[in-house]
Amino acid sequence: MNVPVRDEPFYIAAFAGTRLPVHTATIMPALVDPGFIPAKDATGHRERDGVLGVTLNGITRAYPLWIMDNYHVANDMFGDTPLAVIHCERCSSGVAFLATVDGRRLTFQVAGIWKMTLIIRDEQTSSFWSHSEGVALDGPLKGTALQRHPCYQTTWAEWRERHGDTEVLFWPENKLHRDGRHGHGARDYMGRPGIRAVPDKCRNTSPAPEKRRAALQRQLEGESADDLRNIGHLLLSRQRDVPKGVESVSLEGFDGSETDVRLDPRLDAIQNAERFYDRARRRERAARKIPGRLKLTTDRILSLEAGLETLRSTGPSDELWDLLGGEPEHGRVGRGARRTADDSPLPYRRYRSSGGLEIRVGRSSRANDSLTFRHSAPEDIWLHARQAAGAHVILRWERRDQNPPLADLTEAALLAALHSEARHSGMVAVDWTRRKYVRKPRKVAPGAVIPERVSTLFVEPDAAVAARLSLDD
């Protein structure tokens, strides 16, 4: 049946026996014939930014995920060949299809979400398509399949290193999506905070530095170390005039004036004098440190205020998110430590199989998620030791029509076994499947996924194999 498309922001339509929320192009526009700039001019990209990379007709282009998150579909032209590049941030997949049917160019836009993945609609016939398979599910072109074209999901640094002549998608001016780097959503997708999450966190964070600044100011304006030390001298010199068990006493000062002194009734005069000497020493240490701390706190408040001022026009910067307590992309670096994007490690260890294929092994639970959903392609091979905690392993593989050689697959399985809790077993069962068949349910622990269409290999862990295949120091 045909799905009616009405001109309103959201509506519910019957679709294949389910109820499908459909978004119009007003809410989630697609890119049509977007602009590109040379890699050398792409100064707004970070080394770790995820990109979709495509080469066609001698033209090489990169589509940064932080831009694609706002549009999901780029209807592009490579010379005279139409190509649709599609990114689904929910399932972290990127695909490309030759966008022609019977010699006619089709342009696509997001139609909605069905079974937790994107449904796209072509503007020429209003047919609805599966973004991952490129097959029309409903409408005049139902059953038609688009020809898939290779599309690689990697980092900007890796793509630029392999393709120095690449062009990169230029961020278009769009009043609907001024949040730029952080996508249209309010929730986190693939480690990037949503735009609406930042003001909320700013409001929750701002009172803390304000209170800290006020407390530091009070300390700076409190009693001086000299005054506290003089009271200690006075208590020692007048100790016979200080009765035990009193909370305060009035003593004649060295200048002849009366001085009221608050005491700890549990202590005698000498012990109370020591307390004042100790407070004087702490006050001197604080006086040396407070001005610097006060300046840092004031600078942080000013940075938060400036970040909020520019939030809507430029999106939340890395500096602003760091001020709000955000973690680096690949997790915590260590208590009190900071690490820049240039020296932060990849979320995986690198190996090379005897057949020359790259193998990537996740470093931690959070790194496993990043490896599987940000540093791999849909046709790559995903491996994990069965029924054992351990690393996600990715065997890079581009061929959709056949599986990788058994020797390379076995070596990747050995690495999965060695980086799991089952590494001391004599024989380890390792599950493997295409990465596109691995999904992550909502609200589950880092590293937890559900693989489908799984096959199993049985391997004997051998540490010598890992040493021989390792590419890292």
Q: Which pLDDT value is given to residue 320?
A: 57
Across the range 426-445, mean pLDDT stands at 89
Whether residue 113 is predicted with pLDDT greater than 90 in this model: the reply is no
CA distances from 141 to 16, 126, 135, 138, 246 (A): 15, 9, 9, 7, 94
The alpha carbon of residue 344 and the mean position of all alpha carbons in its chain are separated, in whole angstroms, by 13
Q: Which of 166-170, 328-332, 379-383 has the least mean pLDDT?
A: 328-332
Q: Which pLDDT value is given to residue 215?
A: 82
What DSSP character marks residue 174? -
Please name the residues in contact with 76: beta carbons below 8 A apart, sequence gap of 6 or more.
31, 33, 34, 61, 82, 83, 84, 85
Q: Which pLDDT value is given to residue 296?
A: 84
- Better-scored residue on pLDDT, 390 or 186: 390
Q: Which pLDDT value is given to residue 360?
A: 94
Q: How confident is the model over 235-249, as pLDDT tens digits?
A: 888 888 888 888 889
pTM, two decimal places: 0.42
Q: Which pLDDT value is given to residue 8?
A: 34
User: What's the CA gap between 4 and 459, in Å, rounded?
Assistant: 53
Across the range 212-230, mean pLDDT stands at 80
Q: Which of 51-65, 114-128, 393-407 has the least mean pLDDT?
A: 114-128
Q: How confident is the model over 315-351, as pLDDT tens digits?
A: 445 555 555 554 443 343 343 344 444 445 788 999 9
Across the range 298-302, mean pLDDT stands at 80
Q: Which pLDDT value is given to residue 426?
A: 82
Q: How confident is the model over 272-296, as pLDDT tens digits?
A: 889 898 888 888 888 888 888 888 8
Q: Which pLDDT value is given to residue 48?
A: 80
Q: Which of 70-74, 207-211, 296-300, 367-371 has the least mean pLDDT?
A: 207-211
- Better-scored residue on pLDDT, 206 or 469: 469
CA distances from 433 to 161, 233, 379, 381, 409 (A): 28, 79, 9, 6, 11
Across the range 372-383, mean pLDDT stands at 92
User: What's the CA gap between 394 and 350, in Å, rounded?
Assistant: 10
Q: Which pLDDT value is given to residue 185?
A: 37
Q: Which of 121-125, 231-235, 321-325 has the least mean pLDDT?
A: 321-325
Whether residue 384 is predicted with pLDDT greater than 90 in this model: the reply is yes
Across the range 448-456, mean pLDDT stands at 91
Whether residue 3 is predicted with pLDDT greater than 60 in this model: the reply is no
Q: Which pLDDT value is given to residue 324?
A: 56
Q: Which pLDDT value is given to residue 206?
A: 53
SS3 label, residue 436? helix
Name the pLDDT band for 137 (thresholds 50, 70, 90). confident
Are 359 and 394 spatial neighbours (Cβ–Cβ below 8 Å)? yes
Q: Which pLDDT value is given to residue 10?
A: 30
User: What's the CA gap between 303 and 325, in Å, rounded?
Assistant: 14
